[in-house]
Amino acid sequence: MTLSPIDAAVIGGGAAGVAAARRLHQAGLSTLILEARDRLGGRGHTVQTEAGPVDLGCGWLHSGDVNPWTDITGERGFTVDRTPPPWGVEREEPGFPIAEQQEFGDASDRFYTQLAVAAGRPEDAPASTLLEAGSRWNGLLHAVSTWINGVELEGVSIEDLHAYADTEVNWRVAEGYGALIARHGEGLPVSLRTPVTTIDHSGKTIRIDTPRGTVEARAVVLTVSTGVLAAEGIRFTPALPEKLEAAALLPPGLADKLFLFVDSAAGDLEKDSRVFGATDTARTASFHIRPFGRPLVECYFGGVMARELEGQGEAAFADFAIGQLVELYGADFRRRLTVGPMHAWGTDPYAFGSYSHARPGHHDKRAVLARPVDDRLFFAGEACSENDFSTAHGAYRTGLAAAEKAIDALTASGVGVRRERPGGGSSG
C-alpha cells in the first residue's frame, strides 16, 4: 500500500479517531483511518451473545445528559437506556447490610470532601493521602478507584481526580456502546489490520509506515493509547521525547470485565442491582446483576488484582468471580452460572490497559500530550482531555478538537476546506 499524499491520516479508529475522521471527511478533506485492529471502536468493543450484546470495553454514557454520544445514539438508530445505574442506590445486598452501606457512603462522602479541599494546593499528592487512618472502608475505596481510575488511590493525582467533570447522569446504549462507535465510523475511508510502526515528520509530507505499506499525509491525527505511545509502539522521526514522557506519566490503568450467564430462572435476582464480592478489602470484584434485565452478571475487576489475574489467564477471572458469588448466594449458585466473554485489556498490544490516570504531580501532562507538533501532528484520545478523561465522550471531544485544529492548519497552508458542518452525526 503506497498512496499519494492525502490531506489527513487518522491513526486509531476508536471514539476519538472516528470523531476526528468524520469531521475531516465532512470538511471535504481526503482522509484515511489507519486502524491496527480488525474492527472500529478501539476500547469500545461490543460482542453479541445468546443473552444479547455485551460491552467488553466502555459501557456507560457517563454524564449522559451532556454526552455527545447520547445524541449520536438516536441519530444512528440505537437506543439510550435510561435505567439508573446500580451504584448509589440503597437496597438489600447479600453481605452488605443497609447500615454498612450508609457507613461506606459516609466514608466516601468524607473522602471526596477532602479531595475538594486538597485540590489547588501548591503540591499535588496521591489521593490515598486523603484516606482516614484505620478506616475499615479504605480497602473498598481503593477497589472503587480501580474501577473508576484503573488503579488504586496511591497511583492517582489529587488534582487530576478532582478535575474530572461528572453530571452524575449515567445511561447505557442498549445495542452496545462499542457497536455505536463502530456504526458512527461506517462509510469513512478506513484501512483495518494496519498498525502504524513509524511516523516520519521530517519532510514536506508526513510518511506513515505500516506492514502494509507507506501512507503520506499533510496532517496526522494520532489517537492511540498512552500505553502504546509510552512503549514506543509507534516511533517518531524526529523523536518526540516530550510526548513519550507525557504518555508515561498518564498510563492506562486496568479495569477488566467478565460476563457470566445465569440460568433461565434468573428472575429471582433483582435486575440492575449491584453487589460487592467483599467489602473489607481492595481485592474484590463488583457485580452488576442482570444488566438490562438480561440473564447476565457483569463482573468488574481492576487495578493490581486485575493485572495479577490477567497473568494467570481468563479462567482465573471466572474462578475468582464465581468464588465470590458463591460466598454471597450459596453453593448451589455455582451450577447456575456459565462463563461468558471477556477481554484482557492489559495484555492487549493496542491498548496496554483501559483508560488513563495522571500520576501524582503530573496532571498537567494532559495538556502537554494534547499539544500539536508543528501544526501537522495532532493528538487526541481520552488521555488528552483535562476534564473528561477515561471516557468515550472525552475521547470524542478531543477528536473533534484535533480535527478542527488540523482543518485550520490545512486551510492556512492553502488546502481547500468546506467550513460548514454538514449534518449526520456531527453533534458534539
Whether residue 85 is predicted with pLDDT greater than 80 in this model: the reply is yes
Report yes or no: 254 and 307 within 8 Å, Cβ to Cβ.
yes
The predicted pLDDT at position 423 comes to 44
CB 200 within 8 A of CB 68: no
Output 376 or 422, whichever has higher pLDDT.
376
Greater model confidence, 88 or 83: 83
pLDDT tens-digit series, residues 326-370: 999 999 999 999 999 999 999 999 999 999 999 999 999 999 999
The residue to which cell 480501580 is assigned:
146
CB 232 within 8 A of CB 334: no
Our CA angle for 175, 176, 179, nearest 5°, is 100
Query: 393 with 63: CB under 8 angstroms?
Result: yes
Q: And the C-alpha cell for 36? A: 491496527
Rounded alpha-carbon distances, angstroms, from residue 110 to 93, 132, 155: 23, 9, 20
Q: Are 290 and 244 in contact (CB under 8 A)?
A: no
Give one word for 313, left, alpha or beta, with left for phi > 0 and alpha for psi -120 to 50: left
pLDDT digits over 366-375, tens only?
Answer: 999 999 999 9
Once rounded to an integer, what is the mean pLDDT over residues 306-311?
98
Lowest mean pLDDT among 181-190, 262-271, 371-380, 406-415: 262-271
Instruction: List pLDDT tens digits, range 195-239.
Output: 999 999 999 999 999 999 999 999 999 999 999 999 999 999 999
Going by C-alpha positions, the residue among 253, 246, 245, 211 that lies closest to residue 351 is 253
pLDDT greater than 80 at residue 63: yes
Q: Do the Cβ atoms of 155 and 60 come closer than 8 Å?
A: no
Model pLDDT for residues 161-198, shown as the tens digit of each residue: 999 999 999 999 999 999 999 999 999 999 999 999 99
| pLDDT interval class at 1 (50, 70, 90) | low
Contact 381, 389 (CB under 8 A): no
Mean pLDDT of the chain: 95
Cell of 144: 472503587
How many Cβ atoms are within 10 Å of 421's Cβ, its own excluded? 14
Q: Where in the chain is the domain with CATH 3.90.660?
A: 80-172+255-342
pLDDT of residue 3: 56
Residue 211, Cβ density class (10 Å: 0-12 exposed, 13-18 middle, ≥19 buried)? exposed
User: For the packed helices 177-184 and 15-26, what is the interaxial angle rounded to 10 degrees?
Assistant: 20
Q: What is the pLDDT of residue 97?
A: 95
- pTM score: 0.95
Distance CA 110, CA 131 (A): 9
pLDDT category of residue 67 using cuts at 50, 70 and 90: very high
Q: pLDDT band at residue 420, thresholds of 50, 70 and 90?
A: low
Is the four-CA dihedral 292, 296, 300, 306 of positive or negative sign? negative
Angle between helices 303-312 and 314-329 (to 10 degrees): 120
Percent of the chain with pLDDT over 90: 93
Sign of the CA dihedral 308, 394, 32, 13?
Answer: positive
Eight-state DSSP code of residue 72: H
How crowded is residue 231: how many other Cβ atoms within 10 Å of its Cβ? Answer: 14
Could you write out the DSSP letters of every residue in 94-146?
TTB-HHHHHHHHHHHHHHHHHHHHHTT-SS--BGGGGSPTT-TTHHHHHHHHH
Count the Cβ atoms, other than its own, within 10 Å of residue 106.
11
pLDDT reading at 61 higher than 70: yes
45-54: burial string, b at 16+ Cβ within 10 Å, e else = bbbeeebebb
Cell numbers of 397, please? Answer: 471531544
Instruction: Give ranges for CATH 3.50.50.60 in the chain.
Output: 2-44+176-251+358-412
Average pLDDT over residues 292-308: 97
Q: What is the CATH number of domain 2-44+176-251+358-412?
A: 3.50.50.60
Fold of 80-172+255-342: Polyamine Oxidase; Chain A, domain 2 (3.90.660)
